[in-house]
């Protein structure tokens, strides 16, 4: 009998894919944000990848997109109520990180020293 591998994986892939967490965290702290501002706040992400990620997160129901038909047109992104339900999960992870990430560093030092 193959054990059902893991019920965590689907949500981990949804939320903790590359850049998704950073974009959500930035929107959580900046509220409604324009594309160019998001680029400035997450400088390591390229415009092309940011656009792809935002489209995917919009499709997943995690990001809302508002188009302002002005000259030039203006587009803003924000967390949806569904995305906001993830904030307690994020804080749980930050707490774990504050408490335990140091232990990971020490484990790595021990492992490397024993090589």
Name the phi and psi angles at 90, rounded to 5: -60, -45
Positions in 9-28 near its own copies (CB under 8 A):
9-12, 14, 16, 21-22, 25-26
Q: What 3 state SS string does the chain have?
A: CCCCCCCCHHHHHHHCCCCHHHHHHHHHHHCCEEHHHHHHHCCCCCHHHHHHHHHHHHHCCCEEEEEECCCCCEEEEEECHHHHCCHHHHHHHHHHHHHHHHHHHHHHHHHHHCC
Min dist CB 35 to its own copies, Å, is 16
Considering only 5, 31, 72, 73, the residue that binds its own copies (CB under 8 A) is 5
Considering only 59, 69, 72, 113, the residue that binds its own copies (CB under 8 A) is 59
Considering only 49, 51, 75, 89, the residue that binds its own copies (CB under 8 A) is 89
Interface with its own copies, residue 49, by CB under 8 A: no
Tell me the window of 46-54, 68-76, 82-90 that interacts with its own copies (CB under 8 A). Answer: 82-90
Interface with its own copies, residue 44, by CB under 8 A: yes
């Amino acid at each position: 009998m193959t054990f059902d591998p893991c019920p965590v994986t689907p949500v981990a892939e949804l939320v903790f894919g590359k850049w998704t967490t950073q974009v959500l965290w930035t929107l959580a702290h900046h509220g409604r944000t324009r594309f160019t501002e998001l680029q400035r706040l997450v400088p390591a992400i390229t415009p092309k990848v940011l656009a792809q990620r935002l489209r995917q997160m919009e499709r997943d129901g995690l990001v809302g997109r508002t188009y302002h038909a002005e000259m030039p047109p203006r587009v803003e992104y924000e967390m949806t109520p569904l995305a906001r339900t993830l904030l307690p999960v994020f804080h749980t992870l930050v707490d774990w990180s504050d408490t335990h990430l140091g232990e990971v560093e020490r484990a790595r030092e021990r492992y490397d020293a024993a090589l």
